[in-house]
Structure 1
Amino acid sequence: MRFPLKISHISSGFIAVLVGYTSSVAIVFQAANAAGADQALINSWLLALGLGMAATCIGLSFYYKTPILTAWSTPGAAMLATALVDVPMNEAVGAFIFSGLLITLSGITGSLDRLSKLIPPPIAAAMLAGVLMPFCLEIFTYLQQEFALVALMCVTYLLGKRLFPLYAIPLVLVVGGVAAWSMGLFETKQLDFEIASFVFTMPTFSMTSLISIGIPLFIVTMSSQNMPGIATMHTAGYRPPLSPIITTTGITTMLLAPFGGFAFNLAAITAAICMEKDADPNRETRYLAAVSAGVFYFIAALFGATVVALFSMSPKALILPLAGLALIGTLGNSLAVALDKPTYREAALVTFLVTVSGVVFFGIGATFWGLIAGLLVQKVLQFRS
């Protein structure tokens, strides 16, 4: 029997990791620096985060034969960048473990699974569309800044979709990369190749840190990461059992927290790249795109700072429009599901608009508030009818 791995699996996995690292690794650096981490400890954070994502992506995707992509909590890292100032590292690690414990308990009890079943598909799809919209808009933002490069990428995408639909995004990556290099848009840096190593921090559990860091980190991770991640899977037509998956991310957080793995959760943006038809027209083997992403996570973990420096050399005018082009199909599908049923249309639009707005209340991001707003509107309209 031939192993069904395709070039599109590898390219989708690579693009997902590339987008994930380049778009948010700087926030992880800020969070680590806020806690007073030196370079060795920062490398340990990147190693723990990369290995945790690699293990969960590969293990969960193979086991459920579903493209399950995990990620570090980017909103969580943003919160930590301010919350960890003047907090001892051992207390921070204790808060990470406590947050992981809460995530594990939510998985074991099935609370998130039950909650997701109460959310109508149009509202979940509208939330996902709101998450994806800013990435797709980056195409036109950078078209104004680097017209020649982005216009070439768009033309390549259109020709690729017309002639080689399965290889459109890999083609855009190659053509855009060569063009950006020829235009001198890549930064030149000295790269020192070294394998990262773990640095262990003994956790201590301070009630103040558990309340002020652990609980907010749990709330942000569940509302701003896991809920959009679930919406991404459901919109793509995948419904694996959520309880064991969430439990796995919580246990992974508790195990790797002493080395810097502050929070693991379901991915949304990068997961959508691996769930697109461009990753594989066959839904049954599309999980291999997420497995490929796990392999690239593993490589990125081993070389930590080197890989991050390599990614940071890539111009944003290449990376962000590339992500937008890769997500156009998913955005279209999400909007179609969100607006298909007239009885949910107004609630879905409210969900979409609030999510796109980027509002933050009480440290909780717009994805959560978009979901809440949409559900409230739907309840009011149902009551009126």
Structure 2
Amino acid sequence: MRLQPVLAGIVLVIVGFASTFAVVLSGLRAIGADERQAASGLLILSVTMGLSSIFLGLRYRMPISIAWSTPGAALLASGVGQDITYRAGLGAFAVTGVLLALTGLSARLARLIAAIPVPLASAMLAGVLLPLCLAPVKAVAELPRAAVPVVLTWLVLGRFARTRMWAVPAALAVALASVWLTRPADAPAFSSPLPALDFEWPTLSFGALIGIALPLYIVTMASQNIPGMGVLAANGYRPDLRPVLTTTGAATVLGAPFGGHVVNLAAITAQLAAGPEAHPDRDRRWIASVTGGVVYLLLAPVSGLAVSFVATAPPLLIGSVAGLALFAALASSLHAAVQDPEAREAAVITLVVSASGITALGIGAPFWGLLAGLAYHRLTTRPRPRPVPEAQETDEEPSATPRP
């Protein structure tokens, strides 16, 4: 019983790291990071997540788990930064961190973000995820010998509730085993598993701020921080979101020059630390999130090996694992996007434009998708009439003739 929250924290990190680090690497490579810079990004994300989880868990004695923004990495991998330099991308990461911190400090900015309809934010995320989730289909068609075992492993383990959390890590293990077994004999040796932090001065550009920073901020708030708070509330925890946002925003700003994109509240794996599987006693579950932070720090040195191994694999094969990891997020986003009949058409417009992959004025499709959806929603939504105050009731019967 004493070890239960410790084991829960270990499982939380292994599942979260193994399931989605391929998405993070795909996002960093999409904005121009080389192998060394991608390893630095994975390293700094592991360090900032670990330190933030330890600090918040010890400070508030709640299972406040911190993770990288998987939807944010998927946004980068969708190609929004294809015409943006790597240093401009780092500048967008830093601005995203500033926006997160300001949201924690400013109630007005928090209300502004809350005013974005949930169906439209969810539709934008679904549009970002859809092209990535098509990767397993393409991999099965183009790389059947390598991709079919990966998909079958994911299907078999995903069929059983108790092993579902291991479906994506197992699929990744099969993919890496396939890469190892089919590796040419004359292939270059793997680089050193110990990564080094690579510092680059971020630069600011209008295209990166509008095309990356703003959608990255909205996606992180809508698909990570708000759902993460919902998971905590469902398990009886009501932490103040403001210190969480200021902490993760500051960590994002500090990690941006080294390649880290965004750290935020965990949403997908938050239940592993906040739920009864971590410990029957709610006052003991904070140990799980703190343990997870320690494990992140222990995993940080192996990020170089992870990047080196993935670099030798066919990009489509690793992309298929990333797509499998994002299926659940795509399903929940689609459900939230079409749930409200009044916003359904606007959500579909947002989804279609966001998934189109267009770039206009140096700005990527997710921003234009959200803008198009908001414009259509504003044009087609009728203002609700104000309620008419009811007349006061009296015991006196109405008179047929007016009184003098």
Q: TM-score, length-normalised on structure 2?
A: 0.68
Q: Does 1:18 align with 2:21?
A: yes
Q: CA deviation at 1:199?
A: 7.6
Structure label with greater radius of gyration: 2
- Residues in 1 aligned to 2:53 and 2:117: alpha-carbon distance in whole angstroms: 27
Q: Does 1:173 align with 2:177?
A: no
| Aligned amino acid, residue 247 of structure 1 | T
Q: Does 1:366 align with 2:370?
A: no
- Residues in 2 aligned to 1:100 and 1:167: alpha-carbon distance in whole angstroms: 31
Runs (5+) with no aligned partner, structure 1: 34-38, 86-91, 204-208
Q: Does 1:162 align with 2:155?
A: no
- Residues in 1 aligned to 2:343 and 2:185: alpha-carbon distance in whole angstroms: 46
* Greater helix fraction, Structure 1 or Structure 2: 1
Q: Does 1:130 align with 2:127?
A: yes
**Distance verdict in 2 for CA 1:369–1:54, change over 3 Å:** farther
Partner of 2:4: 3
Secondary structure of the residue aligned to 1:69 is strand
Q: Per-residue displacement from partner, 1:89-113 (whole Å, max 9, x unpaired)?
A: xxx99x9878865654454224542
Q: Per-residue displacement from partner, 1:110-139 (whole Å, max 9, x unpaired)?
A: 454222311222222212211221221111
| Aligned amino acid, residue 375 of structure 1 | L
Q: Does 1:213 align with 2:204?
A: yes
Secondary structure of the residue aligned to 1:213 is coil
**Distance verdict in 2 for CA 1:313–1:351, change over 3 Å:** same
Q: 1:21–1:311: 8 Å Cα contact kept in structure 2?
A: no
The one of 62, 65, 68 equivalent to 2:63 is 65
| Aligned amino acid, residue 368 of structure 1 | F
Q: CA deviation at 1:189?
A: 3.4
| Aligned amino acid, residue 142 of structure 1 | A
- Residues in 1 aligned to 2:190 and 2:339: alpha-carbon distance in whole angstroms: 50
- Residues in 1 aligned to 2:169 and 2:38: alpha-carbon distance in whole angstroms: 32
Q: 1:112–1:243: 8 Å Cα contact kept in structure 2?
A: no
What RMSD, in angstroms, separates the aligned Cα atoms of the two structures?
A: 4.5
- Residues in 2 aligned to 1:364 and 1:375: alpha-carbon distance in whole angstroms: 17
Deviates more, 1:64-73 or 1:354-363: 64-73
Deviates more, 1:366-375 or 1:163-172: 163-172
Partner of 2:147: 150
The one of 47, 52, 58 equivalent to 1:56 is 52
Deviates more, 1:284-293 or 1:358-367: 284-293
Secondary structure of the residue aligned to 1:383 is coil
Partner of 1:224: 215
Q: CA deviation at 1:272?
A: 6.5
Q: CA deviation at 1:173?
A: 2.9
- Residues in 2 aligned to 1:154 and 1:58: alpha-carbon distance in whole angstroms: 35
Q: CA deviation at 1:143?
A: 1.1
Partner of 1:340: 339
Q: CA deviation at 1:353?
A: 0.9
- Residues in 2 aligned to 1:291 and 1:19: alpha-carbon distance in whole angstroms: 24
| Aligned amino acid, residue 146 of structure 1 | L
Partner of 1:36: none
Q: 1:272–1:327: 8 Å Cα contact kept in structure 2?
A: no
Q: TM-score, length-normalised on structure 1?
A: 0.71
| Aligned amino acid, residue 224 of structure 1 | P
Secondary structure of the residue aligned to 1:358 is coil
Q: Per-residue displacement from partner, 1:184-233 (whole Å, max 9, x unpaired)?
A: 489943235374566888x8xxxxx9xx7177655555412121122213
**Distance verdict in 2 for CA 1:229–1:292, change over 3 Å:** farther
- Residues in 1 aligned to 2:46 and 2:119: alpha-carbon distance in whole angstroms: 33
Q: CA deviation at 1:23?
A: 0.8
Q: CA deviation at 1:141?
A: 1.2
Q: How many residues align?
A: 357
**Distance verdict in 2 for CA 1:142–1:255, change over 3 Å:** closer
- Residues in 1 aligned to 2:291 and 2:19: alpha-carbon distance in whole angstroms: 10
Partner of 1:88: none
Partner of 2:192: 193
Secondary structure of the residue aligned to 1:174 is helix
